[in-house]
């Protein structure tokens, strides 16, 4: 049986070579009318890119949430100091605390620790 090996259609940069040269891996997936190795299969490339984008977005959202918590915590501290020093009404402190509690239970909170 004639087992013709297909080569991956992608071109890659290699060390000590000028420009791009064909990927030397065997094409194992046929997509968009061409053969690709597992790494360069367009749908796999897109899936990896999408996953990267989703990860960055999640990290950005997490940073933003942490920043909001920090600023509301600072507001609580400020309100507490105002209350202590100037005997302002407890309502100011309560408002600040409520804002902090709201921020802490904001949706999309993924307090992952790496
Ligand atoms: Zn390849």
Is 8:23 a contact under the CB 8 Å cutoff? yes
Based on the fold, state whether residues 36 and 57 are members of the same structural domain.
no
Are 71 and 97 in the same domain?
A: yes
CA of 16 to the centre of ligand 1 (A): 19
Name the domain count of the chain: 2
Are 30 and 83 within one domain? Answer: no
pTM of the model: 0.61
Domain that holds residue 17: 11-40
How far, in Å, is the centroid of ligand 1 from the Cα of 51?
Answer: 20
Give distance in angstroms: CA of 56 to centre of ligand 1: 26
Indicate whether 18 and 70 sit together in one domain. no
Q: What separation, in Å, do the N-terminal and C-terminal C-alpha atoms of the chain show?
A: 52
3-state secondary structure of 34: strand
| Rounded distance from Cα 100 to ligand 1 centre (Å) | 51
Name the nearest CA neighbour of 99 among 76, 66, 65, 67: 76
- pLDDT tens for each residue of 22-61: 999 999 999 999 999 999 999 999 999 999 999 999 999 9
Amino acid 3: pLDDT: 60
What is the share, in percent, of the chain residues with pLDDT greater than 70? 90
What's the CA-to-centroid distance between 10 and ligand 1, angstroms? Answer: 5
Is the same domain home to 21 and 58?
no
CA of 17 to the centre of ligand 1 (A): 17
Q: Compute how many other C-beta atoms are within 10 angstroms of the C-beta atom of residue 93.
A: 20
């Amino acid at each position: 049986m004639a087992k013709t090996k297909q080569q991956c259609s992608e071109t890659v940069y290699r060390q000590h070579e000028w420009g791009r040269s064909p990927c030397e891996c065997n094409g194992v997936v046929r997509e968009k009318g061409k053969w690709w190795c597992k790494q360069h299969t367009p749908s796999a490339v897109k899936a990896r890119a999408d996953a990267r984008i989703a990860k960055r977005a999640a990290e950005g959202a997490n940073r933003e949430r942490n920043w909001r918590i920090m600023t509301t915590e600072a507001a609580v501290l400020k309100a507490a100091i105002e209350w202590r020093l100037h005997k302002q009404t407890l309502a100011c402190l309560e408002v600040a605390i409520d804002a902090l509690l709201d921020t802490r239970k904001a949706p999309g909170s993924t307090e992952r620790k790496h």
